[in-house]
Amino acid sequence: MEILKGLAIHPGIVMGKAYIWLPTPEKERQFDLFINQKDLLQNAIRKSTSELEETIASANALHSERIQIIFEAHKLMVNDPTLLEIAERLMEKGATAYEAYQKAAEDIISRFKKLDSAYMRDRIVDIEDATDRVLSAISDTEYEQALSFPEPRILILSKMKPSILMNCHRPSVLGFVSAEGAYDQHSAFIARSKDLPGLVVKDVLSFVKNGDFVVLDADHGALYFQPEEEMIDENWIEKTVKP
């Protein structure tokens, strides 16, 4: 049995098989002289904006004004004038829509990384989430994944992106463990709104493999993997885990 300690995002104790979330592989991007790159970018932005409006409507159905505000902010990021201005200048110099928007997003993110405010640095993952959505649209790849499984899973993530947590629904997803994240990130609020136990464990992807049985104890900030048989018992945690 191995134990990894981490930061609790939302309390709860669950056990089940791990599912390592990976982004949908992007299709090979080929430059086509007959495709107007500025039009390609604008179409991708329109598609991404429409998807975000659907997410905002879903949040409204959940009666969560704060989640609505999170994705309204994503919509603003997708259409950010400064980002689009940088991208357009790069396309005028010969960059593809994908290259230009990616570079523009990296430029904006690098500025946020230099800020002293932890609150503002916690917004970086939102910028990544919003702009990655546009990049997927440019490459004609679906950005969001339906997280539905034959049996419940514990999600293992590299980053706590709001779009991922928004698509987590019980009982398919019991909880999550992320290699990166912070308690004050927007995705953490979404997890708490959905009552999803969660942890941030820096080295989780180095230890846990797809299908591993794990015990997620977000009450005490611990992840147990490769457990012994006697651990797979609903009463085990109550008898064994100490605060």
- 5-39: pLDDT as tens digits: 999 999 999 999 999 998 877 765 665 667 899 99
Bridge partners of residue 175, in order along the sequence: 154
* pLDDT, position 235: 54
* pLDDT, position 28: 57
Instruction: Please enumerate in sequence order all residues whose Cβ is within 8 A of that of 191, keeping only pairs 6 or more positions apart, or say none.
Output: 9, 10, 160, 165, 168, 176, 198
Q: Tell me which residue of 133, 71, 145 sits closest to 102, measured CA to CA.
A: 133
* pLDDT, position 243: 39
* pLDDT, position 242: 41
Q: Which amino acid is at 98?
A: Y
- 151-180: pLDDT as tens digits: 999 999 999 999 999 999 989 999 999 999
* pLDDT, position 159: 96
Q: Which amino acid is at 193?
A: S
Main-chain dihedrals φ then ψ at residue 174, nearest 5 degrees: -85, -30
* pLDDT, position 127: 97
- Output the six-digit token pair for 209: 């493999």
* pLDDT, position 76: 96
Q: Which residue has 């977000």 as its token pair?
A: 218
- Output the six-digit token pair for 219: 């009450």
Domains and CATH numbers, the chain: 2-21+145-240 (3.50.30.10), 37-138 (1.10.274.10)
pLDDT in 10s for each residue of the chain, 243 residues: 789 999 999 999 999 999 999 887 776 566 566 789 999 999 999 999 999 999 999 888 776 889 999 999 999 999 999 999 999 999 999 999 999 999 999 999 999 999 888 888 889 999 999 999 999 999 999 999 889 899 999 999 999 999 999 999 989 999 999 999 999 999 999 999 999 999 999 999 999 999 999 999 999 999 998 766 655 655 555 544 443
Contact 153, 174 (CB under 8 A): yes
* pLDDT, position 194: 92
pTM, two decimals, is: 0.89
